[in-house]
Structure 1
Amino acid sequence: MTTRDLRPDLSEALERFGADLSRWPDERLAREADAALACDPALRAEWEAWRDLDGRLDATRAACDRSITRSAAVARLRANALAATTRRLRWPVAAAAVVAGLVVGGVLDLAIAPPAPRGTEIVLLDSLVFGPDEVDLR
């Protein structure tokens, strides 16, 4: 009988979440796995195989990260994307269009605005004490 036959949940969790028990989402299952590792040599051998695989994957990822950093690929991509964006949008033309729109809008607002009223009537309402009351403030 293999570990998979005796404890299929632990073997499946090892495949799914890896050998680092602290990364397992189910804490109860992680505690069970930790206890079973001390008692079951077959599970221990399976866990060590997954631990070795995790270590090799981590080393490969670190090597890829170092290679990307050395080649400055991210900096080149960022520079190319920025250059393509500024070429396409033509910022000075867009800024001039916004300023022209603001100027035209301001002129039209001044030309079309209705004249201000001469007098303003104010009504003070104190409905809790006196009710509505009109006051002439001129």
Structure 2
Amino acid sequence: MFKPSRRQLLFTAIGAMSVLAARDFFLLYCRGVARNVPDFFASLDTETLDAAKAVGSRVARLHPGFGAEPTLVRLLESRPLLLAAHEESCVDTRQAMIQQQCCEDFADGRTVVVDGWVVSETEAQLCASIA
């Protein structure tokens, strides 16, 4: 029968704590990594509006209920940054708030796959509501 010494137990505990600390470090680091978040939600011109409508129609086809009023109400209630962005008059600030919300969606695993693209639920809902 194996009987570990104090030294072995100590090194095992240190090793386990190091692995957990490294894992937590990388999870925190990944939250700060810049994502390729579309900018077309902040100020929609004709080109970006057409792109948002095209994505929105695909989202609505693949995920029924997205973009519907009850779903949008729940989305706004659960994501205060979107509500604040809606009331923001500065385009740059509004864009930063929406991008932050999309990054939080990715960090929390709230994503949707649309035609092979992984988009945040916020992006999908906004596009579906435009379509």
Pick 1 or 2: higher relative contact order, CA cutoff 8 A, min separation 6.
Answer: 2
User: What TM-score do you get using the length of structure 1 for normalisation?
Assistant: 0.28
Larger Rg: 1
User: What TM-score do you get using the length of structure 2 for normalisation?
Assistant: 0.29
